Structures are given as structure tokens and as C-alpha cells.
């Protein structure tokens, strides 16, 4: 067990590192617009359990007092046009990196094409600031005036809670964004939503990890819109494959991030509810709508 002094020193050091990262990486003129009026927020993760939600809880999602946020590849599903989400969040660097695998090239091409062609309503598209410098991203959505791109800082901030919350409120940084749900919840909080409902956040990857006889690690990346298992290795930005300890560390940081967001939500008098039919996230109260 760590003593309170040891924990304080570690957090203080982490805060000092976060200050350096914010100064070097973050952009200080990025603003997240607050919502007008009192609305609840519905965040649609892309886990397989979202199929049950879209079958059983569609009336709840479509309620006029709710604003919907979709993420990542939701645009390739038939529900994109049916639900007409007001907000859309991209987080993975594969959406703007100039060199990615053929699989990711095809996936992002499909996502971009669907966003451009199908979005006939006002949609705010949140993207990390790093995308703005990419040739892949330049002028991408200019042909559709309904899509309004807003850039955000995905700089990871850690350490003392008071320092974290200062940077969070200024939009200078956020908890480590190891999957798209973390920045999506963060952005919803900074848009001033006071009740946030999460669906399709299965987070059951640990059940789907396989290590073959050649010690190759694969994970099933299946989504609600996939027709079958989608088993692939996980890759780092340098192209190297994740090993088993890398995968579990990534999972630890993601699940820990939800507890950081829970604490941040409490400081804003906001509530986050996990309404997913299946979910391993244990930071938020689970509800059935």
C-alpha cells in the first residue's frame, strides 16, 4: 500500500508532466460550445449490444429532450440516417494518418463518404486537433455545409485532481483517450449536459483476446453493425503489434479513465448512467430505460 505522502508526490510529479504536455501539445484557442436549453445526452457506443438497444429502446433515444452523439464508424450503419445524431466524435488516429493499413483506408473512406453524402441535417463533428494538419483531412467535408467540424485537445492529463479539473474545464486536456468513449463523455460534460446515458459500451475485449501458437495476440473488434467476428491484431502508431501486456495496460487505462470522468462529472453536478445491455464498465450506475 502506498502512503498518502507517496501518493501525493506521485500525483504531483504526474501533474508537472501534464503541465509540460499541455504547454507543448495543446492548443489554447479551442472552444467547446455549451448547449442551449436543458437536454439529456445519449451516447451510442458501437458495441454488439447496441443492436438490442436499437430494437428495444429506440423511443428513449429519439425523445425530443435528448441529444444523440455517435462515434467512429456509426455512419456506415443504417441507423445513422434514422437517428440523425446531432454530434459525432472521431478519436482514432487512423482517421487522419496519411499512412495506414489497407483495411483502415477502406473503413475511413466508407465513413467519410457516408458522412458527406447522407448528412442532410446539422451535425457537429468533433475531431482531435492533430487531424487539422493532415492532408487526408484537408477540405474533406467542405462539400457538405451541414457538417461543422470542431477540434479538441486529446492531450492526456493526469495527477492532482484540482489540476486535472482546471485543465479539463479549459479544454486543454482530458483523461487518457484510449478509446473513443472517453473523449465523447468528456466532451458531453464540457458541453454542459447534466444527464448522460451510454449505450453499446460492451467493453468485453478481454473475453475476446486470443494468443496463438506463434504468440500472436488478436482481439475480436466486432461492432453492432458487423455480421460476424472481426478478429485482428492491435497495432501501435509505429506499426508494431501489441503484446498481451500492452493490451491489458491499455484496458487498465481505459477503465481507470471512467473513474476520473465520474469524479469530474460530480464536480460539475452531472450524472453519467450506463444503460448498455452488456457492459464491463463499473464506474457509472447501471440503469435500464
Tell me the C-alpha distance between 25 and 31, whole Å: 16
Q: Is the pTM of this model over 0.75?
A: yes
Give the residue from 101, 112, 171 showing the smallest Cα distance to 147.
112
Inter-residue contact 244 to 211 (CB < 8 Å): yes
The phi, psi pair for 244, rounded to 5°, reads: -60, -35
pLDDT tens, position by position, 4-35? 889 999 999 999 999 999 999 999 999 999 99
pLDDT of residue 271: 98
Question: Which is it for strands 40-44 and 217-220: parallel, antiparallel or unpaired?
Answer: unpaired
- At 11, phi and psi to the nearest 5? -70, -35
The answer to whether the beta carbons of residues 186 and 164 sit under 8 Å apart is: no
pLDDT (tens digit, 9 = 90+) per residue, 29-41? 999 999 998 999 9
Q: Where in the chain are the domains?
A: 4-274
DSSP states along 71-135: ETTGGGSTHHHHH--SEEE---GGGT-SS--HHHHHHHHHHHHHHHHH--S-EEEEEEGGGGG-T
Q: Dump pLDDT digits (tens) for 213-260.
A: 989 999 888 888 887 777 878 777 777 888 999 989 999 999 999 999
* E strand segments, the chain: 40-44, 66-71, 87-89, 123-128, 147-152, 195-199, 209-211, 217-220, 231-232, 271-274
How would you write the pLDDT of the chain (289 residues) with one tens digit per residue? 778 889 999 999 999 999 999 999 999 999 999 999 899 999 999 999 999 999 999 999 999 999 999 999 999 999 999 999 999 999 988 899 887 778 788 889 999 999 999 999 999 999 999 999 898 888 899 999 999 999 999 999 999 999 999 999 999 999 999 899 999 999 999 999 999 999 999 999 899 899 989 899 998 888 888 877 778 787 777 778 889 999 899 999 999 999 999 999 999 999 999 999 999 999 999 999 8
The reported pLDDT for the residue numbered 220 is 85
pLDDT at position 154 is 96
Q: For residue 277, give the DSSP letter.
A: S
Amino acid at each position: 500500500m502506498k502512503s498518502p505522502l507517496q501518493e501525493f508526490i506521485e500525483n504531483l510529479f504526474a501533474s508537472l508532466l501534464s503541465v509540460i504536455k499541455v504547454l507543448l501539445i495543446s492548443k489554447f484557442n479551442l472552444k467547446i460550445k455549451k448547449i442551449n436549453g436543458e437536454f439529456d445526452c445519449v451516447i451510442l457506443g458501437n458495441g454488439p449490444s447496441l443492436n438490442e438497444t436499437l430494437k428495444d429502446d429506440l423511443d428513449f433515444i429519439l425523445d425530443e429532450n435528448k441529444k444523440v452523439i455517435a462515434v467512429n464508424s456509426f455512419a456506415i450503419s443504417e441507423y445513422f440516417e434514422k437517428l440523425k445524431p446531432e454530434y459525432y466524435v472521431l478519436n482514432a488516429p487512423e482517421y487522419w494518418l496519411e499512412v495506414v493499413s489497407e483495411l483502415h483506408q477502406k473503413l475511413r473512406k466508407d465513413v467519410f463518404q457516408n458522412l458527406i453524402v447522407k448528412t442532410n441535417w446539422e451535425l457537429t463533428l468533433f475531431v482531435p486537433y492533430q487531424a487539422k494538419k493532415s492532408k487526408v483531412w484537408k477540405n474533406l467535408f467542405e462539400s457538405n455545409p451541414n457538417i461543422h467540424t470542431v477540434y479538441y485537445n486529446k492531450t492526456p492529463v493526469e495527477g492532482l485532481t484540482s489540476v486535472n479539473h482546471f485543465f479539463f474545464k479549459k479544454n486543454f486536456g482530458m483523461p487518457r483517450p484510449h478509446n473513443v468513449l472517453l473523449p465523447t463523455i468528456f466532451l458531453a460534460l464540457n458541453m454542459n449536459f447534466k444527464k448522460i446515458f451510454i449505450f453499446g459500451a460492451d467493453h468485453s475485449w478481454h473475453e475476446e483476446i486470443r494468443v496463438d501458437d506463434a504468440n500472436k495476440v488478436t482481439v475480436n473488434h466486432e461492432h453492432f453493425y458487423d455480421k460476424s467476428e472481426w478478429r485482428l491484431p492491435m497495432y501501435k502508431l509505429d506499426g508494431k503489434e501489441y503484446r498481451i501486456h500492452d493490451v491489458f495496460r491499455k484496458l487498465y487505462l481505459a477503465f481507470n479513465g471512467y473513474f476520473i470522468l465520474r469524479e469530474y462529472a460530480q464536480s460539475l453536478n452531472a450524472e453519467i448512467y450506463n444503460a448498455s445491455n452488456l457492459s464491463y464498465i463499473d464506474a457509472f450506475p447501471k440503469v435500464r430505460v
